[in-house]
């Protein structure tokens, strides 16, 4: 999933990251890498909280990264 996301970003495509249920399979480094790619993040409230917990980031960090 991350490889395809990175390929799309490298090709200049507008991209969305919707990790869904496999969110817990990603490492903190992988999720922080997604934050640096300049993509849109699609998550529900539970996934947002899980993303922040796994990545070790605050909501403000997420907003600044994905804005």
Q: What is the DSSP letter of 9?
A: H
How many alpha carbons fall within 13 Å on the CB side of residue 40? Answer: 5
pLDDT of 6: 92
Domain that holds residue 38: 2-66
Residue 10, token pair as written in the block: 């490298």
pLDDT of 67: 66
pLDDT tens profile 21-55: 889 999 999 999 999 888 899 999 999 999 999 99
Over residues 9-13, mean pLDDT? 93
Total domain count for the chain?
1
């Amino acid at each position: 999933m991350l490889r395809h996301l990175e390929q799309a970003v490298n090709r200049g495509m507008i991209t969305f990251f919707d990790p869904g249920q496999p969110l817990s399979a990603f490492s903190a480094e992988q999720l922080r890498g997604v934050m640096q790619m300049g993509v849109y993040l699609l998550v529900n409230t539970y996934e947002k909280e899980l993303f922040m917990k796994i990545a070790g980031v605050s909501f403000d960090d997420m907003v600044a990264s994905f804005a």
